Amino acid sequence: MTYIKVCKLLLSGEDLSAVKLIVADVGDEKSLREMCAQTNVLINCCGPFRLYGEPVVKAAVESKTNYVDITGEPQFIELMQIRYDEKAREAGVFVVSACGFDSIPADMGVTFLKQNFKGTLNSIDSYLSFYLPSEFDAEAAEHGVIGTGTWESFVYGAAVLNEMPRLRKALFPEPAPQMKPVVKQKSMTKKDNEWYLEFPGADASVVYRSQQFDYQNEQQRPVQFNAYLKTGSLWQTISLAMRALTVVLMSRSECTRKYLLNNPKYWSGGYVTKEGPTANETNNVHFTFEMVGKGWPEGADVEKTPPNKTVVAKITGKNPAYGSTVVAVLMCAHTILKERQNMPAPGGVMSSGSAFKNTTLIQKLTDNDLKYEIVSK
């Protein structure tokens, strides 16, 4: 792919002085519109999006330019749908957020499971785990494993968690019906002798929007989705949960929020540092989403029998922040350019699962080392 080649050129240190540079400022609407007018698809990587994202969305829609970004901030994502969906439809363009590690593996993973289930899918439990070889432990202890941008987005997102119920009600005045049997999200769970916490990212929010779209526009039965993050032993899990709760509470006040942002290594338990992880670390971080789908085989009586079919999908990749995110957002942009005819008309603000479910995006991701596969039926 052309985009992947460009990224490789950037990393190789080759001379790119002939490539045109466009300077724009999120505080200058004119410069943003001039930038958007020169392209068909804009990729926005400037966060935290709660602070800097809306002017870019606004300029893209007004310029009739398609837009994708890498945010994992549910409050921003859903607010943009409330404010710009109708305008984007009128302009005939797509605005698709969360096209990076948050939340392409999860949202397109649900699409992948639905396409391969061959029956009625009731629920999916997603189990995310990371692996970094032990030879990088010393670097991880010194430099952390998560970038400061992710930390800032998490802190700012935690500060506005109380806004989500109001936004969700405005976005979906008539929520989808409750599916039975109900599979509720747990704050902690155990699987294969390992403990997991409820995943604090945007995955559940993004998947919910996709399922609402399918229900409201195509009368498809929504899939219940729960997301978990592998945390290790019971003690590690409890400790991490208490630290996360403390961060959420401290994020509510401007004074303590600044303290969190200025001291990421302490409050993140060493996961985040100001200088950020090394290239050695990021290039060797591997991740796996194990997505366990449960439901009924074709022809089963959904109302009178319990779910008795399980299909497990696995999504794997590496370097989530600087590798897989790059692949994911570029393939999303490429899909809009090349497969517009396979996407919902007339456009609008939507999730990746809604926008790309009838395209070849999953195959493009798999071809570029973000692999989707069915591992068990």
pLDDT in tens, 253-293: 989 999 999 998 888 888 888 888 888 899 999 999 999 99
Identify whether 89 is part of a domain.
Answer: no
Tens digits of residue pLDDT in 53-106: 999 999 999 999 999 999 999 999 999 999 999 999 999 999 999 999 999 999
Chain centroid to CA 164: how far? 17
At residue 332, the 3 state secondary structure works out as helix
Render pLDDT for 144-154 as a digit per residue (tens, 0 to 9). Answer: 888 888 888 88
**Residue whose token pair is 């999504």:** 315
Which pLDDT score, from 0 to 100, does residue 57 have?
Answer: 98
Q: Which residue type does 157 have?
A: G
The answer to whether residue 221 sits within a structural domain is yes
Quote the longest CA-to-CA distance of the chain. Answer: 66
pLDDT more than 90, % of the chain: 70
Q: How far is CA 183 from CA 19, 226, 233, 306, in A?
A: 51, 8, 24, 12
Q: How many domains does the chain have?
A: 1
pLDDT value of position 11: 57
User: What range defines the domain where residue 111 resides?
Assistant: 104-376
HSE-CB for 333 with a 13 A CA cutoff: 23
Question: What gap in Å lies between CA 168 and CA 178, rounded to an integer?
Answer: 16
Distance CA 10, CA 30 (A): 29
Residue 25 tokens read as 């400022």
DSSP 321: I
- Domain-located, residue 154: yes
Task: Please indicate, yes or no, if residue 59 is contained in any of the structural domains.
Answer: no
What is the structure's pLDDT at 133?
Answer: 92
pLDDT exceeds cutoff 60 at 2? no
**121 domain residue, yes or no:** yes
pLDDT digits (tens, 9 = 90+) for 295-319: 999 999 999 999 999 999 999 999 9
Confidence category of residue 337, pLDDT binned at 50, 70, 90:
very high
| Residue 43 resides in a domain | no
Mean pLDDT, the chain, as a whole number?
A: 91
Helix (H) or strand (E) holding 243: helix 234-250
Residue 159 has what pLDDT?
86
| DSSP result, 337-363 | HH-GGGS-SS-EEE-HHHHHTTSSHHH
Q: What is the pLDDT of residue 67?
A: 98
Tell me, yes or no, whether 276 lies in a domain.
yes
User: Which pLDDT belongs to residue 348?
Assistant: 97
Is residue 251 in some structural domain? yes
pLDDT, position 152: 87
pTM of the model: 0.91
Whose CA is closest to 68, among 36, 91, 102, 45? 45
